[in-house]
Amino acid sequence: MSEISALWPIAPSSEASWLIELTGDAHGVTGFHTPGLPDGAWVLNAMYEHELGAGSLSHDELRRIGEEARGGRSPIVVDGHDLSFLQIDGVATGGGVGHAEHPGPGYRRLRWSELARRTSGPVVRDGYLPSYRSSPDGRLPDGSWPVGIKPPTEGALDRPTWNRLIELLVEHSPAGMDTVCFAFYNPLLTRECDIDDHRVLRGRLGDAWSLYDHPDFASTASNLWPQDRSWVTFTDQDLWGTKVSGPAELIEALLDDAMIEAVRLPWDT
């Protein structure tokens, strides 16, 4: 058992029953989409821009240049069989799935609101949840993002945002770091992919930072909540943000935070 698994042992799946009742979703296949309790806001996954600017070369163009330099795509070989014919000639957008780190020296946080001003569009498209379909469109004509921008990943907060979110949750939980919490991971994140098995872990909120490095999961928890259920987070497998539902004081703290970028979506209450 890993050190993180020891801090977050498996809890009875019945601990997630209240989420089933709250949302009317029996399985939470991509997480339980919770309403405001009584308030709510979406914490947006971070994107980054290089200090030299976005540039005019796209991630897809860079991929194609690399393939040409190598003499074509690398073959796909499984058990000695060449399955290269299964490759789809899609567009490499530059995005990814799961955990994300700060790209490193030379990059700065590009807030959704800043990109929205550049593109004369909304921070999140009306009627949509945060995703590649609704974010400010910084893509180039080929449908790929410029190489100078690292777009958000799907299904997980980036580490800096996750760390700051946990700090704020600690500040707004009566027991602080000693708050007993539960973390639900949707079945798509588990090895078994059993929709009837609600994978729930139990631990301290003060140990929630370690969940980012849990060896069994490549994404942040689908839902995280304290034992008193005063707040709950929701991270959908296919979205570019995490919804936090809870008291108004917590939500206002998220909206006012200098590091986190959060928005209220009136159409998602």
Tens-digit pLDDT profile for residues 87-103:
445 788 898 999 999 99
Q: Where are the alpha helices (DSSP H) in the chain?
A: 3-7, 17-23, 59-69, 112-119, 159-171, 248-256
User: What letter represents residue 245's amino acid?
Assistant: S
Residue 158, exposed/middle/buried by CB under 10 A (0-12, 13-18, 19+)?
buried
Helices vs strands, H then E, count in the chain: 6, 15
Give me 130's structure tokens.
Answer: 């945060």
Place of tokens 């897809």: 60
Distance, in Å, from the CA atom of 210 to the CA atom of 205, rounded to the nearest integer, reads: 10
Quote the domain boundaries for residue 246: 3-44+155-263
Q: Report yes or no: 80 and 20 within 8 Å, Cβ to Cβ.
A: no
- Clarify whether residues 40 and 162 are in a common domain: yes
Q: What is the mean pLDDT of residues 229-242?
A: 97
Q: Are 151 and 200 within 8 A, CB to CB?
A: no
Q: Are residues 161 and 258 in the same domain?
A: yes
Residue 204 has a CB neighbour count (10 Å cut-off) of 17
Residue 242 counted as domain residue: yes
Pairwise pLDDT comparison (203 vs 63), residue with the higher score:
203
Average pLDDT (153-167) is 97
159 & 258 share domain: yes
Instruction: Name the domain boundary from 96, 119, 149.
Output: 149
**Are residues 161 and 40 both part of a single domain?**
yes
pTM recorded for the entire structure: 0.91
Same-domain status, 94 and 164: no
Under the phi-then-psi rule, with left for phi > 0, alpha for psi from -120 to 50, and beta for the rest, what region is 31?
Answer: left
Q: Which residue has the higher pLDDT, 92 or 203?
A: 203
Same domain, 163 and 249: yes
- Residue at 209 is within a domain: yes
* CA pair distance 204, 176, nearest whole angstrom: 9
52 class by beta-carbon count within 10 Å (0-12 exposed, 13-18 middle, 19+ buried): exposed
Q: Identify whether residues 123 and 29 lie together within a single domain.
A: no
| 119 occurs within a structural domain | yes
Paired strand residues for 235: 242
Among candidate residues 149, 179, 211, the one where a domain is terminated: 149
Grade residue 59 by pLDDT with cuts at 50, 70 and 90. Answer: very high
Specify if 269 maps to a domain.
no
Q: For residue 188, which of 128, 90, 98 has the smallest C-alpha distance?
A: 98
**How far apart are alpha carbons 78 and 11 in whole angstroms?**
37
Q: Does residue 107 carry a pLDDT above 90?
A: yes
Residue 241, amino acid: G
* Spatial CB neighbours of 81, under 8 Å, sequence gap ≥ 6: none
pLDDT of the residue at 63: 87
- pLDDT over 70 for what percent of the chain? 93
Whether 174 and 197 map to the same domain: the answer is yes
Same domain, 169 and 232: yes
> Alpha-carbon distance 208 to 179, whole Å?
10
Whether residue 15 is contained in a domain is answered as yes
- Residue 18 sits in the same domain as residue 84: no
Asked if residue 106 is part of any domain, the answer here is yes
DSSP 186-218: -GGGSSS--TT--EEEEEEGGGGGGGGG-TT-S
Lowest mean pLDDT among 20-24, 51-55, 66-70, 113-117: 66-70
Where is the domain boundary, 149, 183, 208? 149
Tell me how many domains the chain contains: 2
Regarding whether 40 and 58 lie in a shared domain, the answer is no
pLDDT tops 60 at residue 188: yes
Q: What is the pLDDT of residue 88?
A: 47
